[in-house]
Chain A
Amino acid sequence: MIPGTFVIMPAYNEGRALAGTLESLLPFRYAVVVIDDGSKDDTAAVAGEFPVHLVRHPINLGQGAALQTGMTYALSRGAKYIVHFDADGQHNPAEIADLVAHLQHDECDVVLGSRFLRSGDSAAVPFGRRWVLRTAVYVNWLLTGVKLSDAHNGFRALSRTAAERIQLEEDGFAHASEIVAQIRRLKLRYVEHPTGIRYTEYSRAKGQSFWNGFNVIFDLLAGRLVK
């Protein structure tokens, strides 16, 4: 447990996986904020049975909007460190402390998880997905001007200062690139930290498809043209 650490978990129709994810996360005794993003299933009911903060969007807005809601909420509760964590159980809660350690030592303002810094982690990424993500790295580089080893990893840690300054306006999945663009614009210090990932049938089915990548690119370009 690291005092003042809030784990932000957006959840949209995650009723099936949420209990397992929370059961493995809660023993680490962080403050957990579940943002139910207008789910149609029992996500809120499942979250309600656990000792977590529960923020519910009355309608579905998208993952980016849910993350921003979680950050705004956590900041209002006095968070010192904010961790983005997926509800589907693909991230390892034991690694949260490693990410936050970078912030505690004031090495940076934002820590970005990466599946491609250790060969063992990248090998765990299914072949097709690996190539989609490799391509996404270059698209992201073009769009944001920052070259990272992993383009769309939902595992991140932010200092309070960084969370106060970053304002996500992309409600959908384009937020992942938007965060990187804002890190650059706000001149925040960042490091990439190797993280493992568990791919299950469930998380694979929930994950973003290749075609959705085009939606992300469209959102970003359109968002840049018309503010």
Chain B
Amino acid sequence: MRPIQYLLLAILAGGVAVYFVRLRSRVSDRLLATGLSLLAAAGILAPQSATWAAHTLGVGRGVDLVMYLSLFTLSYLWVLLYARERQTQQKMTRLVRALAIQNARTMDYSEIKRAA
């Protein structure tokens, strides 16, 4: 094994550990994460497997295939995060609105300092 392979495996193991310890998620997500991690580990331990997959799909180099897939995955994650962020924003808006209406100063003429 080359040094870079140890390094990549260590990073992968760290990421997987954080995912399983810190993030509670559904079984389907966990299965997907396990599958992807195994795939990544295989790619690190046997780099020629990426080249083989690339050639099978008609891509020149294994690195290119990995890059295309990463770009695709990142874009997908970006959309996912954007949707999540919008949902959070909408929840916050509803919360702020409820609070604001609850604490509203309704028109009360005894409080008027300046006549209209």
Binding site for B on A (CB under 8 A): 22-23, 26-27, 31, 35, 48-59, 61, 65, 68-69, 72-73, 76-77, 169, 171, 222-223, 225-227
Q: Given the interface contacts A54-B105, A72-B101, does A26 sit within 8 Å of B116 by beta carbon?
A: yes
Interface bin, chain B: 20 to 34
A226→B97 contact, CB < 8 A: no
**A226 and chain B: residue at smallest CB distance:** B83
Q: Which of B31-39, B47-55, B86-94 contacts A (4 or more CB under 8 A)?
A: B86-94
Task: Tell me the dominant secondary structure on chain B's binding face.
Answer: helix
Complex CA gap A61/B106 in Å reads 21
Complex CA gap A15/B14 in Å reads 53
Task: Tell me the dominant secondary structure on chain A's binding face.
Answer: mixed
Please list the 8 inter-chain residue pairs (A to B) with the smallest Cβ-Cβ separation, ordered nearest first. Answer: A26-B116, A226-B83, A54-B105, A55-B104, A49-B114, A69-B97, A51-B112, A55-B100
Partner of B104, one of A27, A65, A73, A169: A73
Chain A: minimal CB distance from B101 (Å): 5
A51→B107 contact, CB < 8 A: yes
**A31 and chain B: residue at smallest CB distance:** B107
Complex CA gap A84/B42 in Å reads 61
Chain B residues near A61 (CB, 8 Å)?
Answer: 92-93, 96
B79→A226 contact, CB < 8 A: yes
Complex CA gap A120/B114 in Å reads 36
